Structure 1
Amino acid sequence: METRFPDGSSRNRKRAALAVLPFLALGLADIVLLLKWGVDPLWGFAILPPILFVSVLAWISFSTGFLDDR
């Protein structure tokens, strides 16, 4: 669904989700792999916040069209 802003720009959430999803899946797969290897679960959950933070930043940048000007 595209949302129109007063300045005429649009927000494409689906396109942003499709762009970020592979990177988020890789990060979560990394956590699962660490936990399967028997590493202390605290390490697996210690890297979860940065993965989620970067994924949200990427989603915001793609959905608002921040990268369209470049």
Structure 2
Amino acid sequence: MGSSLPPQSTTDKPRNRRRAALYVLPFLLLGLFYLVILVWWGLDPLWGFVILPPILGVSAIAWVAFRHGFDRQP
């Protein structure tokens, strides 16, 4: 039994990447904003290197998920 999803055309790919970036960008900016605030309040800048990878990692996972359409597939 094959998939009931229609094949995606090559013109959909840039739009999907752009849509994924637009969905993830606010959360990425919010995480970076909080990181800047924490460092500005006096947190040791070394902790910024500890906090930054999870922010970037979760944003990358979210981008891949939105890019491949997890929100449109059952």
Gapped regions of structure 1 (runs ≥ 5): 1-6
Give the TM-score normalised by structure 1.
0.82
> Aligned ranges for residues 23-38 of structure 1 at < 5 Å?
23-38=27-42
The aligned residue for residue 47 of structure 1 is 51
**In structure 1, C-alpha distance between the alignment counterparts of 2:56 and 2:7, rounded to whole Å:** 30
Q: Which amino acid aligns with 1:30?
A: Y
Q: Which has the higher strand share?
A: 1
The aligned residue for residue 7 of structure 2 is 8
Contact 1:35 1:44 in 2 (8 A): yes
- Give the % identical residues: 58
Which structure: larger Rg?
A: 2
The aligned residue for residue 68 of structure 1 is 72
Give the CA RMSD over aligned residues: 1.4
Q: Which has the higher helix share?
A: 2
Gapped regions of structure 2 (runs ≥ 5): 1-5
Q: Which has the higher contact order (CA 8 A, sep 6+)?
A: 2
Give the TM-score normalised by structure 2.
0.78
**In structure 2, C-alpha distance between the alignment counterparts of 1:18 and 1:42, rounded to whole Å:** 30
